[in-house]
Structure 1
């Protein structure tokens, strides 16, 4: 039976290290106050006794060698085992990330503490110096209030880097789209409205037309035959009708004065070029994300209708390795989808449920809420019905389904199972019915990975989904064709 603790937020890794050391005096804590040039470092034992006063360490290769040399020297002097030493500092910025990763790559435990919480541990709350900050960090570490995130190393770290990079590219792409809209409103009002122009906005044909000599009068004067050929070449269906509709609409709109047209066209062409680069970059990142996602347990999330490569990769990257992650309730709290509850006045006192906390992983929150929204629109029938029921009851359906999705996702990743509807989860279900379900589910699961260019990687024998596919084929005697 699992024992409960009054310290649920303590780091499991640090708690295990303290327990392994046994005697607090036989443990070394190395708090670090990261900086661009010189880090401030201190040595103390588990009792909080200072073993070495704060000193500076260069943010360089020599600095790492010097620090580790001093740690090993202190271990030998005090007869402390090297595996009873751990490092820690506030969440690492880009300028100190290589320093922390170098220490981590050499087998040492490096924990991160929350800067907001560390600030409260300072002895003087009115002043802020490197030494006071270092003491706050040390207090957090010795209280085991640190984060050894499962997503900060290995394939999950690489996946998180790509996911966050793509998220920024998509945001930049949206900004460029908005700028393109403002320019098109002056050069050719209504062009980006498919109902008016007949051209799907930001399609290959739309971008081609906006790239050069774009304005309502110039579109109207183009040769019909050349316009039709260019639209067909770029995938426009019924190009003859679209070209006629476009030129007819161009003759009806207001035009910008000729003296402003050239400058607006140059600006629009540069924005279209920028948009193409961002679009291609984001698309390429999705392919790379699929390659990494296929190596993780998060690949099983794509078996849920409505959850594609991007959402599955985002959730898996922010959660990290589910096998070493905390409880599902703590993951939901970390995602910021659990409302705050206040209650006082004894057991009979009323409890007040308030808004969700602002202190959370906002990126993970974004992905799980997006996942809940997609499940509510395109997901399995039982989840869609639950979403509709919550909406009809006036509940926050996105947050409610998001909490259910987190519980479901953690279970699927930990047990290496695809999504099964309620009527397929019984142990008494006939094998033939479950085999039929796997055959029906296989088509859309295969299509998701095929579109992202990760089909062969995802279903290789040494990958999680590949192992699942091999077992299902052996157990149920079916063929899940690639």
Structure 2
């Protein structure tokens, strides 16, 4: 039977080969429900007859050995010739169990929590207990509904840890920046922008183009109150700019002095608490910046040791996006085609069709790896803006009246297809611009390292 003849494709064909010609009473199903402290397991046969009632075990040497002993005893009692183990991907608690059981010679299927939820719902049971979860996991194993059987290892795992940690720190920094904006609104609301007096329209004029640039941060740290800026005066601001290499333009100085002169802020003495909080928050912000830079340096270093560096040859894809995509996709050799990666990301459109009609595409499924889904969107947005080779694809969708977010998702899916082919064939991006040098494209995106001056496409 060919690979394409099974309704579940290669995955279903492989599963059926394990079962074909086997007495199903000799097929063991081991369902494992992971948790922080109290893991539970159930052993039954393919028909659902319970061999070992649900039992607890610990995730330590003795606990795993106890689980293995029970599995071996069940194999002996049933003369089992096949055994399938499955575990729900609960947080990160399942990872140690999969890894250690792998060292004991067992392949453990990893089941998406959405799958077990649907299994419970299909039984018209809206209760949720450990035992019901085990039953749902067992049904998912019998139905061959596992998503993966391997954990990311080596550089994949390292990049996965680093990129997710960086994204977490970036989000914390974003929240902190919002707090700082709120404090500055109390101290000096015009610092973030003001409306000129000679305009009758709601026009906003910014003092600094970047709120988080070097110049803006300097004044928030040392002269956050308008009275402090007025005390410096134009000459004092220019001296500070030269001394600290702020490179403040004359127009910026005039806007800063104008905003300080027109400010209705409370006296500095009444804002002592806010000024203290601002100082503390700015110190926290500096620490976040340092941590993020340190993570980005390490991400860049690890990425350059993998085939993921090939993704840097795509105009519009920077180091962090390339590293996230490479880590979240995992080894592309486990996929037959890029559509499987798109489905893993949950950015595949839901097809609605019945009664022989043509049908239509609905919204994306969102039933996949949310980290990879985030990468798909950010990559698609960046490519839409910065990749001239893919710009026509963007323009076609825009002419059809597609919303920007839908275009970015479609572009992100296209990126996954391109990345799949590049990593599978170990070749860089083939740009229509024949003068474009791959090494130059990659080197300009690197902050801390450098690659070789040439890139072989073999």
Give TM-score, length-normalised by structure 1.
0.81
User: CA contact under 8 A between 2:348 and 2:365: conserved in structure 1?
Assistant: yes
2:367 aligned with 1:359: yes
User: CA contact under 8 A between 1:341 and 1:353: conserved in structure 2?
Assistant: yes
Q: What corresponds to 1:101 in structure 2?
A: 99
Give matches, 1:180-259, under 5 Å. 180-193=180-193, 196-198=206-208, 200-212=210-222, 214-222=224-232, 227-238=237-248, 242-243=252-253, 245-259=255-269
Q: What corresponds to 1:7 in structure 2?
A: 8
> 2:20 & 2:297 partners in 1: Cα distance?
43
C-alpha distance 288-365 of structure 1, shift in aligned 2 (>3 A): same
Among 370, 373, 385, the alignment partner of 2:378 is 370
C-alpha distance 21-165 of structure 1, shift in aligned 2 (>3 A): farther
Q: List gaps (5 residues or longer) in structure 2.
A: 195-204
**SS of the counterpart of 1:382?**
coil
User: CA contact under 8 A between 1:220 and 1:248: conserved in structure 2?
Assistant: no
Give matches, 1:409-424, under 5 Å. 409-421=419-431
2:308 aligned with 1:298: yes
Shift of 1:124: 6.0
Among 424, 439, 443, the alignment partner of 2:440 is 443
2:354 aligned with 1:344: yes
Shift of 1:97: 3.8
User: CA contact under 8 A between 1:192 and 1:201: conserved in structure 2?
Assistant: yes
C-alpha distance 106-448 of structure 1, shift in aligned 2 (>3 A): farther
User: CA contact under 8 A between 1:337 and 1:399: conserved in structure 2?
Assistant: yes
2:385 aligned with 1:384: no
C-alpha distance 64-230 of structure 1, shift in aligned 2 (>3 A): farther
Q: Report Cα offsets for 1:301-345 as digits up to 9, x if no partner.
A: 110101001111121121111111353122222223332221222
> 2:336 & 2:181 partners in 1: Cα distance?
45
Shift of 1:412: 0.8
Shift of 1:219: 2.0
User: CA contact under 8 A between 1:212 and 1:269: conserved in structure 2?
Assistant: no
> 1:149 & 1:216 partners in 2: Cα distance?
61
User: CA contact under 8 A between 2:307 and 2:426: conserved in structure 1?
Assistant: yes
User: CA contact under 8 A between 1:121 and 1:140: conserved in structure 2?
Assistant: yes
Shift of 1:220: 1.6
> 1:11 & 1:180 partners in 2: Cα distance?
54
2:432 aligned with 1:455: no
User: CA contact under 8 A between 1:140 and 1:146: conserved in structure 2?
Assistant: yes
C-alpha distance 145-295 of structure 1, shift in aligned 2 (>3 A): farther
> 2:113 & 2:346 partners in 1: Cα distance?
18
Q: List gaps (5 residues or longer) in structure 1.
A: 424-433, 460-465, 476-482
> 2:228 & 2:149 partners in 1: Cα distance?
57
Shift of 1:417: 0.7
Q: What corresponds to 2:54 in structure 1?
A: 54
Shift of 1:300: 1.3
> 1:151 & 1:77 partners in 2: Cα distance?
31
2:318 aligned with 1:317: no
Q: What corresponds to 1:479 in structure 2?
A: none
Shift of 1:5: 1.9
**SS of the counterpart of 2:57?**
strand
Shift of 1:18: 2.5
Give matches, 1:73-84, under 5 Å. 73-75=73-75
User: CA contact under 8 A between 1:10 and 1:146: conserved in structure 2?
Assistant: no
Cα root mean square deviation, aligned: 3.1
Q: How many residues align?
A: 442
> 1:295 & 1:215 partners in 2: Cα distance?
48
Give TM-score, length-normalised by structure 2.
0.85
User: CA contact under 8 A between 2:33 and 2:39: conserved in structure 1?
Assistant: yes
User: CA contact under 8 A between 2:376 and 2:412: conserved in structure 1?
Assistant: yes
C-alpha distance 224-313 of structure 1, shift in aligned 2 (>3 A): same
> 1:125 & 1:9 partners in 2: Cα distance?
32
